Amino acid sequence: MPDKSGNNGSHGPQVKVQVPADIQRGVYANMARVNHSEFEFSIDFANADFAGQDPAGNIPAVVVARIMVSHEFMPHLLEALQENYSRYLTRRDIESLPETDEPGEDDSPPLGN
């Protein structure tokens, strides 16, 4: 798996990913649907309007991107997602820790008196 710099630890050729201008903006999705066949996995990313339920309780959703991946690639995708989500959780947890005073600057009385 590549590290943050894109290196995978080997000395072989490096993949240089380029994002075309018409894709750089990206699309927003708040849900995904995953299906598979004997040949590939398909992931539909969709934007669901949870506030727009119809009287029957159906929630409208529009697919904004459909990605097809091979079975061989799926474990690598899952590993990359798990690794990045774990890093996100670690960073979020660190940022939510309360700030503390410097040692010796608290108002508590000294011990042993």
Tokens at 27, concatenated:
């699309």
Taking 70 as the threshold, does the pLDDT of residue 93 lie above it? yes
Question: Are residues 7 and 31 in contact, defined by beta-carbon separation less than 8 angstroms?
Answer: no
For the chain, what is the mean pLDDT?
86
| C-alpha distance from residue 99 to each of 10, 79, 81, 95 (Å) | 40, 33, 30, 9
Which of 53-57, 92-96, 103-107 has the highest average model confidence (pLDDT)? 53-57
Taking 70 as the threshold, does the pLDDT of residue 7 lie above it? no
Q: State the fold for domain 26-95.
A: Transcriptional Co-activator pc4; Chain A (2.30.31)
